[in-house]
Chains A and B, each alone.
Chain A
Amino acid sequence: MIRNIRTAYLMLSPSLVWLLVFLVVPVGMITVISFTTNLGFGGILYEFSMEAYRLAFSSLYAKAIWQSLWWSVIATVICGIIAYPFAYFIAHAGKWKNFLLLLVMVPFWTNLLIRLYSWIILMNNQGVINNLLLKIGIIDEPITMLYTPFAIIVGLVYGFLPFMILPIYASIEQLDKTYLEAAEDLGANPVKTFLTVTLPLTFPGVLTGTIITFVPAISVFVVTDLLTGGRLLMIGNVIRDAFLVEMNWQLGSAISLLLMILVLLSIVVLIKFTSSDDDSSLL
């Protein structure tokens, strides 16, 4: 037994050391930095200060944090509403199932930047959508779509919808069909069967989908960057600019930590509110 424990630690040590050096220690460092004093241009004075957090909650940055939260929640909800019936259909598509799933994998594996770029072409003032609508005569002058919150929601939904679809699909696919038959035999109508059997049993998939959609959606900076030219900001933009433009490491670190806490809190809340006492439901 002792030998086994030693073997276990030995085999684990490479990956644990890697995570310690390149994840735990760096995150620890930004935690410390967020409480130090800013000397400007990335300079750090090791004197306790809450200035970065005060700044993060000032009107300038609080707006970006609030917008990120709001937009990513909206996008996640829309993704869920689209993904569930879509995944449900694919899971019941018989011999077409695998083919349809492959069709989902193409956008899933295509780089996010490329997929966002395609929406620039579509939503531009001189873009495909405007040209089309002008030609048909529905509009007289181009509608501004880029640079608006609408563009951001479209970008977030388009970017992260596959993350919602795949786990929901997996949970519907693995659903034990005998439960459905039992419900039917006992006289439940299809609607009731869906609401009381299918939906609760596939909830772990919805939960996983929600988490892995929401986390990248709230932290992404390229959606705002590319679809609004940086005119509208999300948390990711603020963090990037704090580190690379303003060289205010304290502010960047503080907002990074706030983002991490926000994400972890949402995950805990989601799991607490939705799962039974089965803690294997995450992923």
Chain B
Amino acid sequence: MREGTKKTLFVFTILVFAFFYIPILVLMVFSFNDSKIGTVWTGFTFDWYIRLFSNSQIIDAAFNSLFIAIVTTVISTVLGTLAALTLHRYGFPGKRTVGFVFYIPVVIPDIVLAVALLVLYSFLNVKLGLATVIPGHVVFATSFVILVLLARLAGLDKALEEAAKDLGANEWHTFWKVTFPLIYPGILAGALLAFTISLDEFVVAFFTTGPGSNTLPVLVYSMVRRGVSPEINALSTILILAVVLVIVIVGWRMNRMNKQQGGI
């Protein structure tokens, strides 16, 4: 790159990062503001955080979200891993169609799945509650687990499995001793993706959760609709910091894993 181009791009990049981060930082700063109304700085306080932790609605919603995310992760990781291994390994009639079906959740608008599930539950007379959110989340998460794993499997050296078989290992043994350890990081990455997708998901949860069983995003939505309040700022700040923490940890672990394996 020429020096001039590089400088222009550098300034541009800084501006984009400012666009990303100024709103987030302003939001965080005002979570410490002493005034309930408006967005004028009047003084420093921790009050909003203290209130937050005594707000049972928020604590409940956080636990609801965690519960749904954990169940979604377990189901979609198992389903997705089985499907990805099959797609990678076997040729069978209808493979293209199956591959296409797994792509649908990636491109279908979330609101369409959400209202379709609402209609399904209503026909089956299923009472909406916490558990009714899980099927929709699994639909999305499974496809992403499959995508992540297929990418990982594509980089897998088939010779390793063949070597194991040549040396007399049966299929089961080959899988557990050779294939699984190799794709384990992929499964882990897929599971993490499934977990975060579910934790973050709003639209399906909004339509398919029952009264009184809010997830965190659904609760945030109803709070924000009521207007600006420093309590939302405080809650948001905690959630953003949680994201930062997870990203730093995952980034650090991946870095180490890559170094150990000499890069993927």
Q: Which residues of A contact B (CB under 8 A)?
A: 4-5, 7-9, 11-12, 14-16, 18-19, 21-27, 29-30, 33, 42, 82, 85-86, 88-90, 92, 98, 100, 102-107, 109-122, 124, 126-128, 131, 158, 161, 190, 211, 215-216, 218-219, 221-222, 225-226, 236, 239-240, 243, 249, 252-253, 256-257, 259-260, 263-264, 267, 282-283
A98 in contact with B251 (CB, 8 Å) = yes
Name the segment of B112-120, B157-165, B181-189 touching the other chain.
B112-120
B 68-106 to A, binary, CB cutoff 8 A, 1 in contact else 0: 000000010011101101110110110000100111111
Which of these, B13, B90, B203, B239, contacts A5 with CB under 8 Å? B90
With A22-B117, A22-B135 known as contacts, the answer to whether A102 contacts B248 (CB < 8 A) is: yes
**Shortest distance between the CB of A144 and any CB in chain B (Å):** 16
How many residues of B are counted as interface, with CB atoms below 8 angstroms from the partner's CB atoms? 86
**Shortest distance between the CB of B206 and any CB in chain A (Å):** 8
B131 at the interface (CB under 8 A from A): no
B225 at the interface (CB under 8 A from A): yes
B257 at the interface (CB under 8 A from A): no
B104 to chain A: which residues have CB within 8 Å?
Answer: 19, 23
B39 in contact with A106 (CB, 8 Å) = no
B 224-254 to A, binary, CB cutoff 8 A, 1 in contact else 0: 1100100011001001100110111001000
A252 to chain B: which residues have CB within 8 Å?
Answer: 115
With A11-B82, A107-B20, A158-B19 known as contacts, the answer to whether A131 contacts B39 (CB < 8 A) is: yes
Q: Which residues of B contact A (CB under 8 A)?
A: 1-2, 5, 9-10, 12-13, 16-17, 19-24, 26-27, 30, 38-40, 75, 78-80, 82-83, 85-87, 89-90, 92-93, 98, 101-113, 115-120, 122-123, 135-136, 138-139, 142, 146-147, 196, 200, 202-203, 207, 217, 220-221, 224-225, 228, 232-233, 236, 239-240, 243-244, 246-248, 251, 255
Bound: A218/B33 CA distance, A: 36
Closest to B236 in A: A114
A26 to chain B: which residues have CB within 8 Å?
Answer: 113, 116-117, 119-120
4 additional A-B pairs beyond A11-B86, A12-B86, A121-B39, beta carbons within 8 Å, are A14-B79, A120-B228, A256-B112, A256-B115
Bound: A120/B120 CA distance, A: 35
Bound: A267/B114 CA distance, A: 21
**Shortest distance between the CB of A62 and any CB in chain B (Å):** 18
A107 in contact with B24 (CB, 8 Å) = yes
Bound: A161/B83 CA distance, A: 31
A226 in contact with B239 (CB, 8 Å) = no
Bound: A240/B115 CA distance, A: 8
With A27-B112, A29-B119, A243-B118 known as contacts, the answer to whether A8 contacts B86 (CB < 8 A) is: yes
Closest to B254 in A: A98
Closest to B117 in A: A26
- Interface pairs (8), CB distance under 8 Å: A4-B92, A15-B83, A18-B139, A106-B244, A110-B240, A111-B200, A190-B2, A222-B202
Bound: A92/B9 CA distance, A: 10
